[in-house]
Amino acid sequence: MKIAIVGSINADIVINVREFAAPNETVISEQDYVLSDGGKGANQAAAVAAAGAEASFIARIGDDELGNRAIANLVQAGVNCEFVSKTPHAATGLAAILVNRHGDNIISVAAGANAHLTAADISAAESSIAQADAIIVQLEVPLQAVEAAIRVARAHGVKVVLNPAPAPEAALTFLGDVDVLIPNESEARYLAALHGAEDASLENAARALLSAGARNVVVTLGADGCLLATAEGLRHIPPYPVEAVDTTGAGDVFCAFLTAALIRGAPLAAAVDEASAAAALSVTRPQARKHLPTAAEVMEFKTARP
């Protein structure tokens, strides 16, 4: 059971505040900042390993200490980093993350070496994708690399899961090659508008993304659960209510556990439910990757729910 992940790798600087600052306002944290490992691709790779699948990661880091630290962390988490390349004269990606007392976050990212991932890197890693049961991609790396990864996956009959985050600047030409599209609510509405949807309702946005070619659409709604859209229709998947401590990385955990459940043979709705449980459990813990839930913990969490 193998999943290839193509995406970003960052160092995260996390600052906890009571409330977010307004424009031109300074807010002082009552805690020390935390330097941790992140990036949507790296988060998803580590979460895939936590979910019990073999994770192979394709990415770029800078030739610096932050990059070395990130690789060491991923290897310790059980991720194959054979195709993570160092980029001379580029810094490892960096994310500045503010987390308020409600567990909400605001994130700004300097792409660094992530911006240097190319189609040539994907070609060099073709064997890793060809041997996978599924591939997960997001949009924190250049679109040419994303498109190349999806082309390689389709050529080898590998399932494609796309997390369209951050939202793209133009309509995506490859949605017809996506088996499962996983946007959040704002990304779904925005992406649907790029593809010509005039009605801003969430349901119509999901239908528009199906019409644009995606085989299945799972819109994550945070504390409100998920909207699952397939050729058979729309279905709301209820959430697992928890008290959030830190929502950073929850969407990445969701993508990883959903994909792992799918390649184990779970029906899509059941995979969404398992991913929802994993994401809910993850937000009860601080930091994106330090305390990732395992497959066994997610099962125990689901069993314990009323």
Q: Is the peptide bond before 267 cis (omega within 30 degrees of 0)?
A: no
159 carries a ligand binding annotation: no
42 carries a ligand binding annotation: yes
Contacts of 116 (CB under 8 A, 6+ apart): 60, 87, 90
Dihedral sign, CA of 253, 254, 259, 261? Answer: positive
Picking from 89, 145, 137, 97, the residue whose alpha carbon sits closest to that of residue 117 is 145
276 carries a ligand binding annotation: no
220 carries a ligand binding annotation: yes
265 carries a ligand binding annotation: no
Helix (H) or strand (E) holding 96: strand 93-99
204 carries a ligand binding annotation: no
Give the chain's radius of gyration (CA, Å).
18
**Residue 79 to residues 32, 130, 144, 287: CA-CA distances in angstroms?**
29, 17, 24, 19
225 carries a ligand binding annotation: yes
Reduced to 3 states (helix: H, G, I; strand: E, B; else coil), residue 142 is coil
Q: Could you tell me where the DSSP H helices lie in 33-184?
A: 40-50, 65-76, 119-124, 126-130, 143-155
- Is 252 assigned a catalytic role? yes
32 carries a ligand binding annotation: no
24 carries a ligand binding annotation: no
C-alpha 177/C-alpha 215 separation (Å) is 8
40 carries a ligand binding annotation: yes
Strands 54-62 and 79-87: parallel
300 carries a ligand binding annotation: no
Q: Give the up-direction half-sphere exposure of residue 294: CA atoms within 13 A in the CB hemisphere.
A: 6
133 carries a ligand binding annotation: no
221 carries a ligand binding annotation: yes
108 carries a ligand binding annotation: no
Structure tokens at 272: 């969404």
Catalytic residue among 37, 133, 179, 252: 252
Binding residue positions: 10-12, 39-43, 140, 184, 220-225, 246, 248, 251-252, 282, 285
Q: Which residues are annotated as a binding site for ATP?
A: 184, 220-225, 251-252
Binding site feature residues for substrate: 10-12, 39-43, 140, 252
Give binding residues for K(+) as ranges.
246, 248, 282, 285
User: What positions carry a catalytic annotation?
Assistant: 252
